[in-house]
Structure formats: C-alpha cells, structure tokens
Amino acid sequence: MKRLISKIRAFFYVYSRSIVSPSYYKDILDTRPNFTVKYYASLAIAASLFAAIILTVQIVPQLKIEVKNAAEAVKTMYPGNLELTMDQGKWAVNQPEPYIVAFPQSFYTEINKNAEVKLPKNIIVFDHAGTIDDLAKYDTFALINDKNMIAKDDKGIKSNPIQNIPNGKLDKPTFDRVIDQFAELKRYLPVIVGGAALVFFLMLNVTIRVLAIAFGALFVWLAAVLMKIDDLGYKKAIRINVHAATLAITADLLAQMFRYQVDVFGFFSVLTLVYSIVVLITLKRAQISLPAQTQPQQ
C-alpha cells in the first residue's frame, strides 16, 4: 500500500510540474526515456477513467428517463383487449380477423415528420388468410398468417415460419410486465456507459493523441534547431511533447466537465505544441544545453 501511495504521489508530482514548470523539463530529459513512457501510460489511464466518469454522470440520468419513457410508449402499443395464444405452432386471437394493431397516432406522426422513408400506419395484422400482398393493403410493418410471419425491412420482405414459437399466451398484463422487466435493465446503464466510454477514451489517448504527439514533435524539433538548442533530437522532442500534452489533456477534461465542445485533434495538437515551444524558450533563456554537457577545456 505504501508503495502504491508513493507511486501515486510521484505521478501527481510529475503531472503538476509538467503543467506549471517549463524549467522542470530539463530534469525530465535527464531521466531515461522509460520515465516518459510510464508517465504517459499512467496519464492516459487516469485521464480516460476521469473522462469516462464525467460522461457517465452527465448522460446516464437522462438515458434512464429516456428508457422509462420508451417503455411507457411501447406499452401503449399493445391493445388492452388483445389475447394471443400459441398452441403447437398454431395461433389464435380473441378478436375478429383481420385484427389490426396500429401505431399510436402521436408516435406515428412524430416518427414520420421528417423521415425519408415513411413508417407504416400499423404495427402488425393478424389474419390467417393474409398474404404478402396484404402488407401494402393493410399498410402494416408485419402480418401473421396461418403459417408465417411476413415482415418488411430496408432490404425487402422476409417470411419466417411460426411453427417453432413455443406454446403460451400473451395479453396486456403479461406484455406490460415483460416491458417493465426490460426497462429495469436501466440500472446497469452506469456500468454499460462507463465501460464503453472508458474503452473509447483509452483508444483516443493511445492512438489519436499519440499520433498527434509524434507529429507535433516534428515542429518541436524544428523549433529547437532554429533556436540552436544543442543536443535536442527528435526523440527528445517527443518527450517534451508528451509531457506538454498534460496541459492539453487537463484542459480537455475541464472543457468536458463544463460541457464546452472543443475539437479533439486540433485543440489538443495546438495547445500541446504551444506549450512545448514555451518550454524550449524557457530552456533557451536559461542557456541550458539539453542534456547539460561539460565543455572541454581549451
């Protein structure tokens, strides 16, 4: 435990100094490259975890409301007087055929308001004598006839046999109970959203941002050459850019926390490069050779 606490303290020390102390970068370059690799790995994990928590806290409450509202909307689609029975691959309803289950008018109007492909007026039609042609006749998404369920999707019309549907009875209370059970899955939304967000932000930090750091290091190296800073090759420019990225990552997390949208690639790259240049200027003004070298005696 003490060792873990010591490592955490060391990480936060490097983290804070990477942001507030350009002169600290001389000490960084005096360490082995593995120091920077371990630091960025820890930074990527910590930043990804924090970003995932922020996103989860921000969107899960609204998602839970949406799930609840969706469940209530779905329950209105099942008629209160309909009872469907399956027995040995044969179905029956307690209503005269054809029996049509329509979309709720408000739902139908809202969905079709700006839709390029209009939704049928009806959800399903129960008609033992129905055929494929009756899909258009009834303006329905699906039709169940004596042996098949016929439905249309974006690829065309499909027909699936109903003989393997298990025996049972479906009525309004049963349907509502099943929907409520599915809606209860919203309790797992924090885990689902948080896990997905963590994977996303980890991929962001170890792919796009690493590429941005490597690319930006070319400009840092070029600036070092123009400023005539000794012994600062491309590899050391990458190390400077890695630690300078701490500021951009922190700023991005703050922007996310306050729901301020920033360009993921541009904002990160520009801010990292600007701070890297500040580091170079600071080191040059201090007339430090990177790393410091003992000048030969004349």
Same domain, 194 and 58: yes
Same domain, 42 and 128: no
Q: Decide which of 139, 170, 201 is a domain's last residue.
A: 170
pLDDT reported for residue 201: 97
Same domain, 125 and 266: no
pLDDT reported for residue 56: 97
Positive or negative, the Cα torsion across 6, 275, 233, 293?
negative
Same domain, 195 and 267: yes
Q: Is residue 229 part of a domain?
A: yes
Beta bridge partners of 99: 126
Angstrom distance (rounded) from CA 98 to CA 131: 12
Label residue 221 exposed, middle or buried (CB < 10 Å: 0-12, 13-18, 19+): buried
Q: Is residue 12 part of a domain?
A: no
Q: Is residue 56 part of a domain?
A: yes
CA 250 to chain centre: 19
| Regions of the chain where pLDDT drops below 70 | 264, 287-298
Same domain, 202 and 56: yes
Q: Decide which of 170, 199, 224 is a domain's last residue.
A: 170
Q: Indicate the SS3 state at residue 167.
A: coil
Same domain, 195 and 270: yes
Same domain, 96 and 130: yes
Which residue's structure tokens are 């967000």?
A: 197
Contacting residues for 212 by C-beta, under 8 A, at least 6 apart: 265, 268, 269, 272
CA 191 to chain centre: 13
Contacting residues for 77 by C-beta, under 8 A, at least 6 apart: 101, 103, 104, 107, 123
The number of domains in the chain is: 2
Same domain, 129 and 198: no
pLDDT reported for residue 292: 45
Q: Is residue 112 part of a domain?
A: yes
Angstrom distance (rounded) from CA 265 to CA 131: 55
Q: What angle do CA 210, 215, 218 make, to 5 degrees?
A: 135
Same domain, 276 and 232: yes
Same domain, 281 and 193: yes
Tokens coding 144: 């169940």
pLDDT reported for residue 287: 57
Same domain, 46 and 107: no
Q: Is residue 202 part of a domain?
A: yes
Label residue 214 exposed, middle or buried (CB < 10 Å: 0-12, 13-18, 19+): middle
Tokens coding 17: 């100094």
> What is the domain extent for residue 249?
22-62+188-285
Angstrom distance (rounded) from CA 227 to CA 223: 6
User: For the stretch 36-46, what's the b/e string if a residue is b when 16 or more beta carbons lie within 10 angstroms of its beta carbon?
Assistant: beebbebbbeb
Same domain, 208 and 270: yes
State the pTM of this model. Answer: 0.81
**Model confidence pLDDT, tens digit, residues 195-248:** 999 999 999 999 999 999 999 999 999 999 999 888 899 999 999 999 999 999
Q: Is residue 121 part of a domain?
A: yes
